Structure 1
């Protein structure tokens, strides 16, 4: 719509120019047409339900285009297919030397020391410090359970108190939209350390140059880089102040225990990119590989790796399992979710137990992983089985006529980390489906879940989710229902529940105490629940919503509880707003 308006303003009236738009996702294409109609522009823009690399000159397009306007950027810059899309456009759709918006993108990085980030990837060192005898990453297999070797999108403004800068910002790559990009490039960068320390990660961001004159910029740099750096970074159109939910910074974890650095030391960094990923090697010692991981190697999100190396988290699970198995000589245990930690704990604490792992997301990969770490944890794979069935399909024949004495879960489901808190009540449903196979004294862990909530002021998150009206002079109000916008809603309509790591949501302030809203008793089969409470505000402020989460009570005495409530702490992963 901005392009069509600019074309009309430039005198390119009817018949003197055209605007074509691509949208391959049908629901979004339908919404696009609704927005065009609301703004009287449905006859001024052609919308093709295709990717741009499916367009052909002489078929969809009358001629090659003079101008390319695009926004196919993710937090890493390349992940949405920027390079292959531009390559096809320059080869097949654009005139020679076209005008483009944006004009150029530049990626930057900075070396940081951060114990917080180190705990998110070096599980081997952290579990060695727990000294509990459970080994998820035994010696010689340090990377068997790890984060994926890639850049991880993260709100790094929230890490201002958790990091030390060990270098000035450095330029990595430039990508010119106005010419055909290369599929692969590599560059060597010499970085001068600005302080003594230990480099744990590279934090990166990008800066867009929107126009060819170099007068309009947009940056995703974290605020603490802009404030502390003496490097002349471009002044940006967004004022460098707004918290952004869509574009974040990226974290590249330096492998192993990181790299030592001394002030004024020159560190060698090799950066490379393919069509979708930017990778780094510091001091050329890191191993970068695009090969598929081995069948027994598992990758988890950084927050889950940090939990699995957290002494308190592990102690809670080990203590609860030990108490539950007390007095049981040869129990039959089912791990109902994707927790490899619980599978190892149960198998290690009572080697004579029979352990059945459901592993609904991990399946054979989970079994292969357990086989690889069995010797280090002193248990035999002869007593472990991965059931490739749903809980509803299990029979006593599958269990060799042995009743289940112990059902455990974190609850954690691989690949579903962004779920709403109550979606993890899938554990309760699994336990219910197993009910006919349980012994009379079967122990369920966790014993119950408690739905808790807290009133919150969340101005940054609110602004990123609030209802749209006028955007650059165009009416966007028709998109609010589809997008699930918050605020300014009609009647009794409520905003949606959204899963977030609350510590990643910009400015936050608790306005009330924590209240319990509902209990879920896992000793009983699943059933309808209801709860309500009155909230008394303890602090002044604007209440934008409620953080809602589940505390998992692991034992019958309510003495061991794992909370997933909000806080600047990976061990309290996310609430729902």
Structure 2
């Protein structure tokens, strides 16, 4: 079977799929997965341990041999727990071949290979019988098939098949049951992630297209660290409702279903958003519970366990609805075998199984396909828009010809509203072009901006009506960008357009700087931390080969993360390490930068954060990273609209005992690849004279 991996070409502003070679290191994919986070999740591991030990003990008390089926074994940790609890035999099923091979090595390394059989198949392909994968049906079913949405990894079909074919009637199941919770809220912040808001541009009002306002939005779940969404940013309109539960010890159906919960509205407001999470009972009595509830639901928020492999979900109602305090309402959730969606009614339908569900939200306006949720938030950010409008006002000329290079941007619309004579915009796709056209038509501006579905290197003077460009502008934003510096594809477009720029042309932004900050993460470090002996359980869950991937490969490049969801402390001042001058063409030779970043606060330096700041004019800057001053304690406020680059050190550096500690850095921007290479080390800087 052929496999493919994603590849970004920053210089071309494009992404594609590249076929893996036979030598492709899939163990790096294992290292990049959330196994480290799961293995460091002591709360999860301990709850599973208690549930498994209890299930094995109950089967033994009935005088039966304990046969365990572990579906989605991953590293084999839960299977090893089962054997340690006294299970006679464990069938550990893992569909991903490299992970199955790693599990086989780990099981052998820990001395469990005589009682654990690794089966490299999807569980629905597993057979039972003398010549089958399993010699007999299991009487203990252990699974970890859950995602942020609970059922998104195909848990229901897998359970349904297992109960029909792989496990005995009345088997013990760990976890025993799951419950899904939801709360209806009003939130300007969260609603801005799915609905385009009106924009004021120097007294003129730009309104969203009716098709966007009336669109149900994207159907995919919005997974988020809900603990980092401040409670004062939303108004609860309902109590926390239990929407439905699933008993995993009995036959499970993957048939489409709807469930509802009736409640009395706690306050008046606009019903817009549903916050949702779930928990697991690891035993039949419900005494051992593994909860995904956000920290602000806890009496002591600091006691809430942190995890990144399971987060919380945000669902957007198809349309805002006004509700009154005291009104009796019914919140409904529907699900197929992989996803959930919510709706709000005034009556209370009974829970049902059906072949055809009420319609799932689906984007009909195309905007939710062009703009992801952070992008909606970015476009709706009034302060950010004001910065661009002020910058545009300062550079536009009455006879100006503007060209915008960004994906699905409203900057060319603002330029027209501010009086530019002619405005052109390059769009990377027909769909993004259609979305901007909707905005123009809805505001009686059809034809005021000429949208060109071509690349910068394809643009000719004829496309511009023989005119020369006086203002080249961009946010820059490109849907293909993963890391902050990937948006430097704007610079490559500027270079391709050099022959069409007037001698006195203005480029906005004028330049960009790459910023660097040394940090101590509160929790994010766990996703790349070494996984030797699993916390709370005496086995080694990572084999040597996979561990090397985690320790060495992962520390050689930066990763994109939305740091507003992952608190950290700054251990240094933010420092400008590279400058990219957009008034000039991309240089032919690499740009290099080296230096020392003094560490000013004590702590454990887990790595560095990198982001881009775009200098629109001499005095107007827009940041894709820090958006506020660092507090005296080092607390940081990060942009919610862009992901920052995070470079994790192989192991954290303790800075508590060295007043001269510094991070040595080296950066090289390769113009041929459009990418930034980097290296770091911890050093002791010379004492101040």
TM-score bin (small chain): 0.7 to 0.9
Aligned 1:2-13 pairs, distance under 5 A: 2=77, 4-5=79-80, 8=83
Match status 1:369 vs 2:430: no
* Residues 16-66 of structure 1: CA deviation (Å, up to 9, x unaligned): x44232223x44334334434433445654444432233344554444443
2:645 is matched with: 576
Tell me the distance in 2 between the aligned counterparts of 1:136 and 1:481.
52
Aligned length: 544
Q: Which of 261, 275, 299 pairs up with 1:203?
A: 275
Provide the secondary structure at the position in 2 that maps to 1:543: strand
1:341 is matched with: 410
Change (3 A) 1:18 1:107: closer
* Residues 520-553 of structure 1: CA deviation (Å, up to 9, x unaligned): 1122233422224433444444333322211111
Aligned 1:143-158 pairs, distance under 5 A: 143=214, 148-158=218-228
Tell me the distance in 2 between the aligned counterparts of 1:106 and 1:9.
29
Provide the secondary structure at the position in 2 that maps to 1:462: helix
How far apart are 1:185 and its partner, in Å? 1.6
Match status 1:526 vs 2:612: no
Provide the secondary structure at the position in 2 that maps to 1:157: helix
Tell me the distance in 2 between the aligned counterparts of 1:252 and 1:493.
33
Q: Which of 462, 466, 475 pairs up with 1:410?
A: 475
Match status 1:298 vs 2:358: no
Tell me the distance in 1 between the aligned counterparts of 2:366 and 2:294.
37
Aligned 1:373-452 pairs, distance under 5 A: 373-381=439-447, 384-388=450-454, 390-392=455-457, 403-414=468-479, 416=481, 419-452=482-515
Tell me the distance in 1 between the aligned counterparts of 2:219 and 2:79.
42
Change (3 A) 1:549 1:291: closer
Consecutive unaligned residues in structure 1, runs of 5 or more: 230-238
Match status 1:311 vs 2:382: yes
CA contact 1:219–1:240 (8 Å) conserved in 2: no
Tell me the distance in 2 between the aligned counterparts of 1:36 and 1:391.
55
Provide the secondary structure at the position in 2 that maps to 1:98: strand
Change (3 A) 1:141 1:195: closer
TM-score (norm 1): 0.82
CA contact 1:136–1:341 (8 Å) conserved in 2: no
Match status 1:173 vs 2:235: no
Provide the secondary structure at the position in 1 that maps to 2:476: coil
How far apart are 1:206 and its partner, in Å? 0.4
CA contact 1:450–1:516 (8 Å) conserved in 2: yes
Provide the secondary structure at the position in 1 that maps to 2:597: coil
1:547 is matched with: 609
2:333 is matched with: 271
Aligned 1:320-331 pairs, distance under 5 A: 320-329=391-400, 331=401
Consecutive unaligned residues in structure 2, runs of 5 or more: 1-75, 348-356, 627-635, 647-689
Change (3 A) 1:393 1:115: closer
Greater displacement, 29-38 / 74-83:
29-38
2:146 is matched with: 73
2:572 is matched with: 512
Aligned 1:142-291 pairs, distance under 5 A: 142-143=213-214, 148-158=218-228, 159-178=230-249, 179-195=251-267, 197-227=269-299, 241-262=304-325, 264-283=326-345, 289-290=359-360
CA contact 2:531–2:547 (8 Å) conserved in 1: no
TM-score (norm 2): 0.70
Change (3 A) 1:483 1:82: farther
Provide the secondary structure at the position in 2 that maps to 1:186: strand
Tell me the distance in 1 between the aligned counterparts of 2:399 and 2:201.
26
Provide the secondary structure at the position in 2 that maps to 1:123: coil
**RMSD value over aligned CA atoms?**
3.5
CA contact 1:343–1:357 (8 Å) conserved in 2: no
1:503 is matched with: 564
CA contact 2:280–2:289 (8 Å) conserved in 1: yes
How far apart are 1:517 and its partner, in Å? 1.4
Aligned 1:15-164 pairs, distance under 5 A: 17-24=89-96, 26-41=97-112, 44-57=115-128, 59-124=132-197, 127-128=198-199, 133=204, 135=206, 137-139=208-210, 141-143=212-214, 148-158=218-228, 159-164=230-235
CA contact 2:282–2:290 (8 Å) conserved in 1: yes
Provide the secondary structure at the position in 1 that maps to 2:593: coil
Greater fraction strand = 2
How far apart are 1:222 and its partner, in Å? 1.1
